[in-house]
Chains A and B, each alone.
Chain A
Amino acid sequence: MKTDEVVVRVGGAAGDGVQSAGLIIAKVFSRSGLHVNTYNYYQSIIRGGQSWYQVRASDRPVRSQGDGLNILLALNRDALERHTNPMINEGGASPLGKTGVAIFDSSITDYKKEDVQYVSMPLGDIASRHGKNALMKNTVAIGATMAAIGMNFDTLADVIRDQFGNKGEVAEENVRAAREGYDYYLANFKKLGIALKTSNKKFYLISGGEAAGLGAVNGGLKMYVGYPMTPASSIIHFLASHEEQFGIFVKIPEDEISAINMAVGANYAGVRAMTGSSGGGFSLMVEALGMAGMMEVPLVVYEAQRAGPSTGLPTKNEQGDLNLVLGASQGDFQRIVLAPRNVEEAFYFAREALNLAEKYQTPVILMSDLYIAEHYETVEKFDLNFKIERGKLAQPGIKDYKRYEYTPDGISLRALPGTPGLMHNEDSDEHNEYGDVVSDAITDPALRAKSMEKRMRKLSAYIKSMPPTPTYRYEDAEYAIVQWGGTQGAVEEAVDALREKGIRAGVVEINRPYPLNPDIGKLLSGKKKIIVVEGNYSGQMNKLLRSEFLVKTELITKYDGENFYPGALAEEIEAVIKR
Chain B
Amino acid sequence: MVTIADYRGKVKPDWCPGCGNFAQLSAISGALTDLKMDPKDTVVVSGIGCSSNMPEFINTYGFHGIHGRSLPVASAIKWANPKLNVICYGGDGDGFFEGTQHFFHTAKRNVDITYIVSDNQIFGLTTGQASPTSELGMKTKTTPDGNIEKPMNPLTLALTAGATFVARAFSGDAIHLKEVIKKGIEHRGFSFIDVFSPCVTYNKINTYDFFRKRVYKPEMDTKNFAKAYEMALQWGDKIPIGIFYDVQEESYEDRSPIIGSKSLIDQPLVQLKPEDLAEFL
A residues bordering B, Cβ < 8 Å? 31, 202-206, 210, 214, 217-218, 220, 222-223, 225, 243-249, 253-255, 257-259, 261-266, 268-271, 273, 287-288, 291, 295, 382, 384, 388, 416-429, 434-437, 440-441
Contact = CB atoms under 8 A, between A and B. Distances in A.
Interface string B140-156: 00000000000000000
Interface stretch (B192-200, B213-221, B241-249, B267-275): B267-275
Interface residues of B, number: 55
Interface string B98-114: 00011011000000000
Interface in B118-138: none
B11 A436 contact: yes
Interface in B20-45: 38-41, 43, 45
B76 A264 contact: yes
B83 interface: yes
A266 B258 contact: no
Contact of B281 (A204, A243, A273, A436): A204
Interface stretch (B53-61, B176-184, B227-235): B53-61
Contacts of B80: 222-223, 265-266, 269-271, 273
Contacts of B274: 384
B81 A204 contact: no
B38 to A, nearest CB: 8
B173 interface: no
Given A205-B280, A249-B264, A268 B73 contact: yes
Given A210-B280, A436-B10, 5 more contacts: A261-B76, A262-B72, A265-B75, A271-B80, A429-B64
Contact of A225 (B45, B48, B76, B267): B76
B3 to A, nearest CB: 15
5 contacts: A31-B281, A204-B277, A249-B258, A417-B61, A437-B53
Contacts of B175: none
B63 A244 contact: no
A271 B102 contact: no
B224 to A, nearest CB: 28
Nearest to B14: A441
Chain B CB within 10 Å — which of A253, A270, A295, A416 has the most? A253
B214 to A, nearest CB: 33
Nearest to A221: B270
B280 A268 contact: no
Given A253-B72, A269-B81, A288-B66, A420 B14 contact: no
A202 B73 CA distance: 43
A288 B272 contact: no
Contacts of B96: none
A97 to B, nearest CB: 32
A253 B72 CA distance: 9
B64 A384 contact: no
Contacts of A247: 258, 264, 267, 270
A261 to B, nearest CB: 4
A228 B105 CA distance: 17
B257 A244 contact: yes
Nearest to A258: B72
A271 B81 contact: yes
B174 interface: no
A38 B73 CA distance: 39
Contact of A257 (B41, B45, B69, B257): B69
A206 B279 CA distance: 9
Contacts of A255: 101
A204 B276 CA distance: 12
A423 B40 CA distance: 6
Given A244-B258, A254-B105, A261-B73, A417 B14 contact: no
Contacts of B60: 423
A266 B280 contact: no
Which 9 residue pairs of A and B lie closest in terms of their CB atoms, listed nearest first?
A265-B76, A425-B62, A269-B80, A261-B72, A265-B73, A417-B61, A271-B80, A262-B76, A204-B280
